[in-house]
């Protein structure tokens, strides 16, 4: 009986010990679980706080960004900005020359943001103290050649210049496809080349200035004088060279190379040529107007514009593959641009030399370059 009693007592103790162990384990697990919940709650609160703070930093709900833009094709980009910041975007299409003259005449900014246009106009606006200086982490990443050295304007992309060739026209006349600017100077192309007036077309002013930077003043002007002899007249519309070449009125058009040019080439049996001796280019400006009502929203838009997503959208809208130069490693488009052929241009004189360059051009072109 003593042995039986001892055994029973031992079993009872073991049972009580197991119960105690189970209770302690359950208690420990509950404490760990509770601590985990507290930690998760704290993390969630921190994330919510960070999200709220980030949202408040760029929360412009109920406000409006007024933009002067070169085209209404940028509506999807503006809608994305509204989606991210809450700010409505109202825009007005206007040429760069009109923007400057109207701003000067009214003595106040006509909008908050200036989106797109010829670089020479932005240079003039900076000299006239019409622009707001802005620097940020995003603008600091922009390559120096694609922004103002004092951060008064920035590039949203580049316009590059090349040739559009009507193969059928040249074949009929036994002419080869030109590969370089020097090829265009050959007398065999007389009457076959169309170019827009550089005094009207920013693209073709860029082409002319690019030639001078590529070959130097003396050789550059000599080359252009020879090309001029092959041009019957300078068109007043920037889109004429592409349209008239596609229609077969000319064999060669000097054009801005973009997706539209390649689409026209496919539709009409044309060839797009990047000049092998050098490709002229010009940045497309974006700037904030000084003393505008919504400078803070305009600054937020500049940073938004330089983001990867926005640059991909701009590349798609503009139909260009130069945005990879503005923001490296973006997806963008691929139109086969040989970036190593871009001319090493002196943009510091792009605006200051404009009047002198155009006066020389008019002297060479004579009555072939009417602006009326």
Same domain (yes/no): 236, 360: yes
Same domain (yes/no): 181, 277: yes
Same domain (yes/no): 149, 169: no
Same domain (yes/no): 180, 250: yes
Does 272 reside within a domain? yes
Residue 270 bridge partners (DSSP): 166
Per-residue pLDDT of the chain (372 residues; tens, 9 = 90+): 223 333 334 444 444 444 444 445 445 544 444 554 444 444 344 333 333 333 345 789 999 999 998 888 999 999 999 999 999 999 898 777 788 888 888 888 999 999 998 788 899 899 999 999 999 999 999 999 899 999 999 999 899 999 999 999 999 999 999 999 999 999 999 999 999 999 888 889 999 999 999 999 999 999 999 999 999 999 988 889 999 999 999 999 999 999 999 999 999 999 999 999 999 999 999 999 999 999 999 999 999 999 999 999 999 999 998 888 888 777 778 899 999 999 999 888 888 898 999 999 999 999 999 766
Same domain (yes/no): 227, 355: yes
Both ends of the chain: CA-CA distance in Å? Answer: 128
Same domain (yes/no): 166, 154: no
Same domain (yes/no): 124, 227: no
Same domain (yes/no): 167, 230: yes
What one-character DSSP code corresponds to residue 92? E
Same domain (yes/no): 87, 148: yes
Give the number of domains in the chain.
2
Predicted model pTM: 0.78
CATH of the domain at 262: 3.40.190.10
Same domain (yes/no): 328, 363: no
Tokens of 81: 């900005």
Name the residue range of residue 274's domain.
159-281+351-369
Same domain (yes/no): 316, 253: no
Rounded to 5 degrees, what angle do the CA atoms 263, 269, 275 make?
75
| Pair 280, 206: CB distance under 8 Å | yes
Long-range contacts of 365-371 (CB under 8 A, 24+ apart): 365/197, 365/228, 365/231, 365/234, 368/228, 368/231, 368/232, 368/233, 368/234, 369/197, 369/199, 369/233, 369/234, 370/197, 370/236, 371/197, 371/199, 371/200, 371/236
Does 203 reside within a domain? yes
Same domain (yes/no): 209, 272: yes
């Amino acid at each position: 009986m003593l042995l039986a009693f001892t055994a029973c007592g031992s079993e009872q103790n073991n049972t009580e010990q197991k119960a105690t162990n189970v209770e302690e384990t359950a208690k420990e697990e509950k404490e760990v679980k509770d601590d985990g919940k507290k930690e998760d709650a704290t993390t969630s609160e921190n994330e919510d706080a960070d999200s709220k703070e980030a949202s408040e930093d760029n929360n412009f709900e109920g406000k409006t960004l007024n933009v002067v833009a070169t085209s209404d094709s940028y509506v999807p980009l503006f809608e994305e900005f509204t989606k991210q910041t809450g700010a409505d975007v109202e825009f007005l299409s206007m040429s760069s020359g009109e923007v400057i003259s109207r701003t000067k005449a009214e003595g106040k900014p006509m909008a908050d943001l200036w989106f797109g246009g010829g670089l020479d106009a932005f240079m003039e606006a900076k000299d006239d103290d019409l622009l707001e200086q802005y620097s940020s982490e995003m603008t600091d990443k922009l390559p120096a050649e694609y922004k103002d050295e004092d951060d008064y304007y920035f590039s949203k992309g580049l316009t590059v210049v090349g040739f559009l060739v009507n193969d059928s026209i040249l074949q009929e006349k036994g002419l080869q496809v030109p590969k370089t600017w020097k090829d265009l100077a050959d007398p065999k192309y007389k009457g076959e080349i169309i170019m827009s007036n550089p005094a009207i077309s920013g693209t073709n002013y860029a082409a002319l200035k690019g030639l001078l930077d590529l070959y130097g003043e003396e050789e550059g002007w000599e080359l252009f004088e020879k090309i001029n002899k092959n041009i019957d007249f300078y068109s007043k519309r920037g889109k004429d060279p592409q349209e008239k070449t596609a229609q077969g009125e000319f064999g060669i058009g000097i054009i801005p190379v973009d997706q539209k040019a390649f689409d026209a080439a496919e539709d009409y049996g044309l060839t797009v040529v990047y000049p092998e001796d050098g490709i002229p280019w010009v940045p497309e400006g974006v700037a904030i107007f000084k003393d505008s009502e919504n400078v803070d929203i305009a600054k937020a838009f500049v940073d938004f514009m330089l983001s990867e997503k926005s640059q991909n959208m701009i590349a798609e809208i503009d139909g260009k593959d130069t945005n990879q130069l503005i923001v490296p490693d973006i997806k963008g488009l691929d139109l086969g641009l040989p970036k190593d052929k871009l001319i090493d241009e002196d943009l510091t004189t792009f605006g200051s030399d404009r009047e002198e360059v155009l006066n020389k051009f008019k002297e060479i072109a004579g009555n072939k370059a009417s602006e009326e």
